[in-house]
């Protein structure tokens, strides 16, 4: 994990976390190693854990996530934000854009609470925007720093969100991973099968637009890159998580054709390896 990640050296302190979110206490138990833990196969337990982490470590007053929505692993999500800070080389007066903010609004929340950045989050799911807004409204600093926009046109990624006079220092995105509902279900089952090895990376729930799209991750990102050139002077650094290593070659080739500077930032959390693709038309990398 990133050197500034609060979660890099220690296991979850369930006693402390249960103090800030008493609902978590009912999900904790001692395992065969006499270590306090939770059932990471229980979505309600994972949501209660996330809520406690946000309250205890990120000065969030409350956070709620209804059943059926994507529950993000906070340690890896905050890693992404720390790497963005390294790219920017500045912490003040930063404005970022989250493509696909989701009901959890996790990147907007972490960017605001860790670095006090201003954030705009957008999503094609109107209900997700409503839930995210409730989560933002719980905490005064989030209300000051974060605004949300409903993307009414599914074909557009930046158009309709970035206004003529807007400038963003960066954009972030966790694109739909799968190409179909069936593939998404298989992926969830694999996570459950490997639960004892990869507790930290589980993403329980998820609406259709959060989990899959036609062509999956590769096609979504090809479309994002193609559309990004229209906003090359309004976004300093475009970035996205890349889950599938095999997608990198084609995406880098596309960026080279567009004469965009780009690089890959590797990230590893336990057994899980992922990476951030960064590109820019105006900034050095």
Listed residue (153, 119, 170) closest to 277, CA to CA: 170
CA distances from 185 to 50, 192, 204, 207, 249 (A): 23, 11, 11, 12, 27
Pairwise CA distance, residues 266 & 80, whole Å: 10
Q: Which tens digit of pLDDT belongs to each residue from 78-122?
A: 999 999 999 998 777 999 999 999 999 999 999 999 999 999 999
- pTM for the model: 0.87
Q: Are 77 and 110 in contact (CB under 8 A)?
A: yes
Residue with tokens 């209900």: 127
Lowest mean pLDDT among 53-67, 100-114, 183-197, 240-254: 183-197
For a pLDDT cut of 90, what percent of the chain falls above it? 74
DSSP state of 202: -
Pairwise CA distance, residues 89 & 82, whole Å: 11
DSSP state of 233: T
Bridge partner list, 268: 273
Model pLDDT, residue 10: 77
User: Higher pLDDT residue, 211 or 81?
Assistant: 81
Pairwise CA distance, residues 174 & 16, whole Å: 30
Pairwise CA distance, residues 91 & 47, whole Å: 29
Model pLDDT, residue 177: 53
Query: How many CB atoms are located within 10 Å of the residue 16 CB?
Result: 11
Pairwise CA distance, residues 157 & 225, whole Å: 10
Reply yes or no on whether the pLDDT at 216 is more than 50.
Answer: yes
Tokens representing residue 146 in the block: 């974060």
User: Higher pLDDT residue, 243 or 105?
Assistant: 105
Pairwise CA distance, residues 152 & 225, whole Å: 20
Reply yes or no on whether the pLDDT at 225 is more than 70.
Answer: yes
Tokens representing residue 132 in the block: 């995210």
**Average pLDDT of 121-150?**
97
Listed residue (60, 271, 54) closest to 145, CA to CA: 60
Residue 271 — very low, low, confident or very high, per pLDDT cuts 50/70/90?
A: confident
Phi-psi region of 244 (alpha: psi -120 to 50; beta: other; left: phi over 0): beta
Q: Which tens digit of pLDDT belongs to each residue from 22-64?
A: 999 999 999 998 999 999 889 999 999 999 999 999 999 999 9
Model pLDDT, residue 163: 97
Model pLDDT, residue 215: 55
Model pLDDT, residue 206: 44
Residue 11 — very low, low, confident or very high, per pLDDT cuts 50/70/90?
A: confident
**In the chain, what are the domains?**
14-280 (3.40.50.150)
Model pLDDT, residue 181: 47
């Amino acid at each position: 994990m990133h050197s500034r990640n609060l979660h890099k050296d220690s296991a979850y302190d369930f006693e402390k976390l249960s103090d800030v979110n008493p609902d978590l206490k009912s999900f904790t138990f001692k395992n065969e190693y006499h270590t306090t833990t939770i059932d990471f196969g229980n979505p309600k337990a994972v949501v209660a854990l996330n809520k406690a982490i946000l309250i205890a470590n990120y000065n969030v007053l409350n956070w709620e996530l209804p059943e059926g929505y994507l529950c993000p692993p906070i340690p890896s999500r905050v890693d992404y934000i720390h790497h963005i800070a390294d790219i920017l080389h500045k912490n003040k007066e930063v404005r970022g854009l989250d493509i696909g903010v989701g009901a959890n609004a996790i990147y907007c929340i972490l960017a605001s609470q860790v670095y006090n950045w201003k954030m705009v989050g957008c999503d094609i799911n109107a209900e997700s925007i409503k839930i995210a807004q409730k989560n933002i409204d719980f905490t005064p600093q989030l209300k000051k720093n974060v605004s949300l926009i409903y993307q009414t046109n599914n074909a557009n990624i930046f158009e309709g969100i970035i206004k003529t006079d807007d400038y963003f220092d960066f954009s972030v995105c966790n694109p739909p991973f799968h190409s179909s509902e069936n593939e998404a279900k298989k992926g969830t089952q694999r996570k459950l099968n490997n639960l004892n090895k990869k507790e930290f990376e589980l993403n329980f729930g998820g609406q259709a637009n959060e989990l899959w799209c036609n062509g999956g991750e590769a096609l979504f990102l090809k479309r994002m890159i193609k559309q990004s050139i229209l906003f090359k002077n309004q976004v300093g650094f475009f970035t996205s998580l890349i889950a599938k290593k095999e997608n990198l070659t084609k995406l880098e080739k596309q960026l080279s054709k567009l004469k965009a500077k780009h690089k890959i930032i590797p990230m590893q959390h336990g057994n899980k390896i992922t990476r951030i693709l960064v590109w820019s038309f105006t900034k050095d990398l």
